[in-house]
Chains A and B, each alone.
Chain A
Amino acid sequence: MNASQPFPFLTVLVLLPAVAGLLVAVLPRSRRLLIEGVGVAATVAELGLAVAVAVRFSTSQGGYQMVSRHPWISGLGVSWALGVDGISLFLLLLVAVVFPLALLGGRVRRDPAQFVAWMLLLESACVGSFLSLDLLLFFLFFEATLVPTYFIIGGWGHARRGYAAVKFFLYTLFGSAFLLVGILAVAFIHKSQTGKLTFDVVQLASTHLSGTAGVLLFCAFTIAFAVKAPIFPFHTWSPLAYAEAPVAGSVVLSAVMAKLGTYGIIRFDLTLFPHATVVMGPVLLTLGVVGIIYGAIVAAAQRDLKRLVAFSSLSHIGFIVLGLFALSTEALTGSVIQMVNHGILTAGLFLLIGMIYERRGTWQVSELRGLQRPAPVLAAVFTVVLLGTVGLPGLNGFVGEFLILVGTFVTHRWWAVVAVSGVVLSVVYMLWAYQRAFHGKTDESNARFADLTWRERWLMAPIVALIIFIGVYPAPILNRITPTVDRLAHHVALANPPAPHHLTAATHSGENAAARAAANGRAVNGR
């Protein structure tokens, strides 16, 4: 690499945590503080780099930026291709924010060296997944997330950790098998058309697929992503894994790794199979809506805070899925920012639940009562995160949820109408949980419950700040997402030429907004 080349931000972003992880693994095991210090320092450095990327990111274009492409296994057409656009930028930032918090908030007693090493490797794998422009490279990173997670759940989890880890591992692996077949098939179909074997997403996007082939491949990809997200009904590993994982594991699983699934959909399904996306849209939209309502209903029956958050998470992932397949710029933008918001909010919830567990050794709601009296600061922070989760306007959750719903309403009215009920349901279970744990007369076992320490307050401060900032002033984020998402919407629209099909209204830009508005006006008139 010569001096004229720009600093390879993305490559460094992918490799930095892994290198630090290997370093931690060889550090003497007794030096606990050193180990944790190196771990936190690496993740903070990563965050700094990610912020640098965000600062250099140009808002005026929707394509990939800071691309770095190096042939890797040239015989197979695999390359080390990384790039960042308005979608991956914020997932990168999310990863970079969540990992230091997870490390600081989820410190473990036993064998910290191994734990920190696995966490750092996991961060590399996550960053790699979000930045890869090469399908096989993506698959590699996507699969590479499994191993550290397996060991983190299995090694530092709670009572049923073994079962949870194996179930998580096998279930996601099952999905990945489909993904691998799909990836290979796309590449070879592309080769048969162009004579060139490549896994580069940008090139593969132009592959022509017949209707059936497209739908089959779409399904192969989507099953993997649906398991990872998780999307109803492929979610049953998640309550178990979230509940049994240690704090850091739950945080990373729900905040970051769930996004691998939804990111996979927007990056690969929409790009590679624009036609099948529209054909299969109604199915996924329905699964999204069912997930929203079903997740909320089941959450309402949970007596265990971690499981409650797991099902609430299922419900919120449903919103993201809804927005992805509504295919309007508003809905897609909403989905992307909702991925970030969901990450911040679930990270906050699991960190807080971890703090409660540290004090009381339980997260059963029935054991907790009147915590607001002994711990007003904890209660206040919990309230803010809770309100963000239920989508109170002025806090971050609202921005994503609203854009998804309004964008869906424009293209798929009745799905949006049903999904709006999720707004009511989320309040039902969240307020119930809050009332049971924080309200009421403090009983004896909770009377000596300690409020947040200064360390914990500083840990939660960035989360609370982001919840408020994104809720009040999301424009800087939205302005960076929209150009990319607009391009994507156009890409899907081009593959689905205007037909009597109502779904074509899904993709639009400013100029046909008026026509769409008129069409909707007619629809209302006709009632």
Chain B
Amino acid sequence: MLHLAFLMPLLPLAGFAVLVTFGRRLGNPLAGWLGTATVTGSFVIAVIVFIGLLHRTGDARSFTQVLFTWIPAGSFHARAALLIDPLSMTMALFVTGVSALIHLYSIGYMSHDKDYPRFFVYLNLFVASMLVLVLANNLLFSFVGWEGVGLCSYLLIAFWFDRDTATTAGKKAFIFNRIGDTGFLLAVFLLFGSIHTFTFSGPHGIFAHAGSMSTGLATAVSLLIFLAATGKSAQVPLFTWLPDAMEGPTPVSALIHAATMVTAGVYLMVRMSPVLHRSPDALLVVASVGVATAFIAATIGATQNDIKKVLAYSTVSQLGYMFLAVGTQAYVAAIFLMISHAFYKGLLFLSAGSVIHGLDDEQDIKKMGGLRKYMPLTYGAFFVAWLAISGVPPFSGFWAKGDVLMNAFADNRALWAVGLITAVLTAYYMSREIALVFYGDERWRRLRVIKGEPHESPWVMVVPLVILAFCAAFGGLLNLPFHPNWVVLDHWLQPVLGSVVRVPHVGIGGEWALALGDAVAAFLGLGVALGWWVGRSERPALEPAFLRRAWFYDAAIDRLISRPSTAASLVAATDVEERTIDGGVTAVATLVRATGDRLRRIQTGFVRNYALAIAVGAVGILAWMLTRASL
């Protein structure tokens, strides 16, 4: 059964190939159904492979499938090969599962778009790339998926390419990701140059070498990989592309910019945990950047008015939590939060999409309000996701975030404190959003956002909402801390991460106290926000420009990097290129011509004469050499 693994990326890739050739002929909705079918097929294969893995025990749950030799050159040897183990299968299952749901949703959401087939072309390519990313058995093959998802992200953000904001946002995403990717490349170079491998497992792989790796090398590799992760997973300092990415269609925001692609950085760090484990410095950097990002993004999210931008900053913030977990060696907690987050954030985006759909593309939450009466199903979905992300027990977010915070507490109290404050902010910004969208007075009616009343969406859009709502509510069951037999995820990932995961020692009493603290934080943020924002949509004191404009980060980048480099580029093209370098060449030519003017009689200006001169000169030199040589 494990041998079917290659079909997981291959099915959506085949879907991509068919859609790119015949997509327009298949049209709407057949192209969408085909795309959905291939991804669902992938999910089925993932389940089969998963069951195959379950039949094996503990350490035998690792299987390498070599596809072909990709780049052989000298002592360098890169293969296209898959690594099937509990970690990669966890990723594959949730990626294919969520992708299938969002494909289904898109059939409805994109039904009125004139470029409907093209959307599924990109979406299928994305799933194929994402599966290569998580299933690859070596860093370089993983990089194919890594850049592939980046490309699809660019293509899908710029999907509505006649909007300049969308294409600029797509470009920004690609460039920010590429900056991070240089870290990925350098990490591969460094590993090849030092331990001569970039394959994860096996007797000669990175993990086998990790134990004997020097701290310096481990730190360098970890930080370089982390640089790549900050790009892909939108962490400080490469985080502002993600909010801009909301220019893409909402299913894309849900799938790529919330549930799957942006978590790739977290996955990669967890994958590389044996190396990360060797470097306390790198761990501290990762944890600090993570928690700082979580806090910064939460403060910005608390002041945004675009329904999707709030969610985008929330995603950045939640990814920060995941890196906090990675940095405190709570790798299982990171994966746990990643999965829970995929459920509730996917759900939030899809229900936000439903709202936008129902309000004829209105995204400003200040123009919404009181929608719960008109869109009860969407409201229900949003409601569940809201409680889950806010960390209200017993929804999934409570358990996952609790796990992260408990590990942070055991590792470093300062990190934990910032994490807890961020938890309050999380509950606050989400409650502010639900208050402004679903409660309070119906501002859209007064502002004439739409004709008539908002409507609920078709069934293809509702089914994914219901399934995701179920998962978001009960996702905590994956890893309940009450009994050793209930921590399913811990046990499942034990063969991969067992040796590097740190077990926090806070005692039973400590665990209860921390859990109580988490719940209090959640209810505090929730209560304050509901009190302030239900029934009142304008509170300028709570929305300072500094926060609304994302700590002036983009403005600073523009002032300090973009504009100077544009200017430098112009200087290089004119002063350096045209005046200095080419000018120098022309000056030499002019000098030659001036000399030539004196020797006008032999200077005719015809190319054949120049050629003749060269030939004569050559013969002269030849003659000279001949005489010299014979001496």
Contacts and interface: CB of A to CB of B under 8 A. Distances in A.
Interface stretch (B34-42, B85-93, B568-576): B568-576
Contact of A334 (B70, B73, B196, B622): B73
A265 to B, nearest CB: 19
Main secondary structure of the interface of B (DSSP, over half): helix
B404 interface: no
B572 A301 contact: yes
B614 A173 contact: yes
Contacts of B20: 380
A470 B190 CA distance: 25
Interface string A246-268: 00000000000000000000000
Interface in A396-413: 399, 402-403, 405-407, 409-410, 413
Given A524-B216, A525-B217, A330 B161 contact: no
Contact of A424 (B179, B569, B570): B179
Interface stretch (A30-38, A95-103, A111-119, A292-300): A292-300
Interface stretch (B141-149, B335-343, B384-392, B552-560): B141-149
Contacts of B193: 406, 409-410, 413, 517, 520
A328 B625 CA distance: 36
Contact of B625 (A185, A372, A407, A474): A185
Interface in B170-203: 171, 174-175, 178-179, 181-182, 185-186, 188-190, 192-196
B582 interface: yes
Interface string B568-590: 11101110110001100100010
A330 B611 contact: no
Contact of B175 (A294, A334, A428): A428
A475 B69 CA distance: 7
B610 interface: yes
Interface in A175-218: 176-177, 180-181, 184-185, 188, 191-192, 197
Given A188-B629, A517-B194, A150 B607 contact: yes
Given A166-B607, A333-B73, A473 B196 contact: no
Interface in B110-155: 140, 143-144, 147-148, 151, 154
B581 A236 contact: yes
B220 interface: yes
Contact of A403 (B73, B161, B614): B73
Nearest to B574: A301
B72 interface: yes
B581 A233 contact: yes
A523 to B, nearest CB: 8
B29 interface: no
A423 B185 contact: yes
Interface stretch (A19-27, A62-70, A122-130, A387-395): A387-395
A427 B220 CA distance: 26
Contacts of B182: 420-421, 423-424
A516 to B, nearest CB: 8
B158 interface: yes
A482 B72 contact: yes
Contact of B147 (A380, A392, A432, A527): A392
A6 interface: no
Contact of B196 (A482, A517, A527): A517
A373 B192 contact: no
Interface string A509-524: 1100110010011001
B68 interface: yes
A494 interface: no
A427 B178 contact: yes
Contacts of A387: 151
Contact of A427 (B158, B174, B573, B577): B174
Contacts of A328: 74
A402 B185 contact: yes
Interface string B339-355: 00000000000000000
A510 B189 contact: no
A486 interface: yes
A334 B73 CA distance: 8
Contacts of B144: 393-394
Nearest to B577: A298
A169 B607 contact: yes
A185 B618 CA distance: 12
Contacts of A399: 71
Contact of B72 (A413, A475, A525): A475
B598 interface: no
A406 B171 contact: no
B621 interface: yes
Given A403-B73, A521-B195, A170 B610 contact: yes
Contacts of A521: 194-195, 214, 217
A373 B589 CA distance: 47
Contacts of B628: 188
Nearest to A181: B621
A420 B185 contact: yes
A94 interface: no
Contacts of A409: 186, 189-190, 192-193
B629 A191 contact: yes
A192 B178 contact: no
A481 B73 CA distance: 8
Interface stretch (A344-352, A358-366, A434-442): A434-442
Nearest to A233: B581
Contact of A525 (B192, B214, B577, B581): B214
B195 A517 contact: yes
B273 interface: no
A275 interface: no
A179 B611 CA distance: 15
A96 B515 CA distance: 71
B74 A402 contact: no
Contacts of B76: 329-330, 403, 406-407
Nearest to B177: A427
B617 interface: yes
B629 to A, nearest CB: 4
Contacts of B570: 301
B629 A192 contact: yes
Nearest to B592: A170
Contacts of A439: 158, 161-162, 164, 167
B194 A524 contact: yes
A302 interface: yes
B499 interface: no
Interface in B55-75: 68-75
Contacts of B167: 435, 439-440
Given A236-B582, A423-B185, A486 B617 contact: no
Interface of A: 150, 166, 169-171, 173, 176-177, 180-181, 184-185, 188, 191-192, 197, 233, 235-237, 294, 297-298, 300-302, 328-330, 333-334, 370, 372-373, 380, 387, 392-394, 399, 402-403, 405-407, 409-410, 413, 416-417, 420-421, 423-424, 427-428, 431-432, 435, 438-442, 472-475, 478-479, 481-482, 485-486, 508-510, 513-514, 517, 520-521, 524-527
Listed from nearest, the 4 A-B pairs whose CB atoms lie closest are: A329-B74, A301-B573, A409-B189, A236-B582
Given A393-B148, A524-B214, 14 more contacts: A180-B618, A236-B581, A297-B573, A301-B574, A407-B76, A409-B186, A423-B181, A424-B175, A438-B161, A475-B72, A478-B72, A513-B75, A521-B217, A526-B216
19 contacts: A169-B607, A180-B614, A233-B581, A297-B569, A394-B144, A403-B71, A406-B189, A407-B76, A435-B158, A440-B162, A474-B71, A509-B75, A514-B196, A517-B193, A520-B193, A520-B194, A524-B217, A525-B216, A527-B216
Interface of B: 20, 68-76, 140, 143-144, 147-148, 151, 154, 158, 161-162, 164, 167-168, 171, 174-175, 178-179, 181-182, 185-186, 188-190, 192-196, 214, 216-217, 220, 566, 568-570, 572-574, 576-577, 581-582, 585, 589, 607, 610-611, 614, 617-618, 621-622, 625-626, 628-629
